[in-house]
Amino acid sequence: MPLKLEDKLVVGISSRALFDLEEENTIFERDGLRAYSDYQILHENDILKPGTAFPLVKALQNLNTDERHLTEIIIMSKNSADTSLRIFNSIEHYGLKISRAALVGGVKISPYLNAFRTDLFLSANEDDVQEAINANIAAGIICSHGELPIEPNQEIDQIRIAFDGDAVIFSDESEQLFQSKGLKAFAEHEHINAQEPLPEGPFAKLLKTLSFVQQQFPKETVPIRTALVTARNAPAHERVIRTLRAWNVRIDEAFFLGGIEKSEVLKAFGANIFFDDQTVHTDPASKLVPAARVPYKQ
C-alpha cells in the first residue's frame, strides 16, 4: 500500500540546506557543472559537515515513532542521481532516516513540490525558493554565514519555530501599505480593519499544519513550540490576534516589538528556525539562531 503524504508534515530540503556544501557550490559557480560533478564523485566517500537546517531536520524526524508517523523529510535537489551518493552517504553516517528524494538533474524543482505534498521547502538557492513561493508553497532561503556552530549530536527536546507576521504568516498587503504610505497610514488601516481577518500569507498553511501536529500530543508534552515575532505593536496587534483566532490556530508565544531588534528575542526563545521576509532581520538573527528569508510572491 503506497505511503500517503496528505496527513503528514512534509519538508522538502535541498542538500545545501541540510549539509555544508558552500565549497562545492563555489566550484560549481566558478568552474561549471562538469567540475562540480567530478568533484562530488571523487569525494563521494567524504562525509559532509552538517548545514544550517540539519538540527531542525533531525528533531522533526524524532517526532516519528513506531506507532506514529507525523513527518516526512524529502531531499529535493538539482543534483543528478550520479552525483548524489555523497549526500546519501552523509545521511547514513549521521543516522538520518531520509529515504526519499527528488533528484532533478538541473531542471526546476518547483513542479515536484505539489507532487510530494510539500508543506515547507528549505534551500540555499534563491531562484528555487522564489519559484516555490510563486507556486504557493511555504519556502525559505537558508541563511548560512558560517558563524553559527552546528552540533550534529545535539538533541532538541522541543522544536521551536519563529515566524514574522506580515508577508510570512499573513499576506504582504499591510507590509506594502507600510512601505508605500508610511507608519501612520499603516496604523490607521489596521485600526479600521481590526475586525477583518488578514489574508493568508505563504506560511499560513504551514502554521495550521504545525498546529494540527501539536494537537496530537498531550498539552504538557507538546514537542513543537511556535512564536510570532513581529515589528507590529499596539494598536496594530489586535488584527493579528483576531486573525489567528479566526483561523483556530494555536501560537504559543507572541512578541509585538514595534521596531525593537528581533535577534535577542529569538535567542531567548531558542528558535531552531526563524522565518522573515527582510534581510535586515534575517542577517543579524542568523548569527544567533538558524534563519531563512521568505521572498515576496512574484
Return the ∠ at Cα 55 (arms to 51 and 61), rounded to 5°: 120
Q: What is the helix (H) or strand (E) element at residue 13, kind and residue range?
A: strand 9-13
Q: Are the C-beta atoms of residues 166 and 172 closer than 8 Å to each other?
A: yes
- Residue given cell 499544519 in the structure block: 209
Task: Give residue 130's Cα distance to chain centre.
Answer: 13
**What's the rounded Cα separation, in Å, for the pair 100 and 29?**
27
Peptide bond into 55 cis (omega under 30): no
Annotated catalytic residue within 20, 119, 164, 277: 164
- Decide: 193 and 239 in contact? Cβ < 8 Å: yes
Q: Which three cell numbers stand for residue 22?
A: 558552500
| Chain centre to alpha carbon of residue 192 | 32
Torsions phi, psi for 124 (to 5 deg): -95, 0
Question: Do residues 159 and 140 lie in contact, with contact meaning Cβ atoms separated by under 8 Å?
Answer: no
Q: Is 164 a catalytic residue?
A: yes
Closest CA to 122 of 40, 201, 13: 13
CB 44 within 8 A of CB 89: yes
Contact criterion met (CB below 8 Å) for 153 and 159: no
As annotated, the active-site residues are: 164
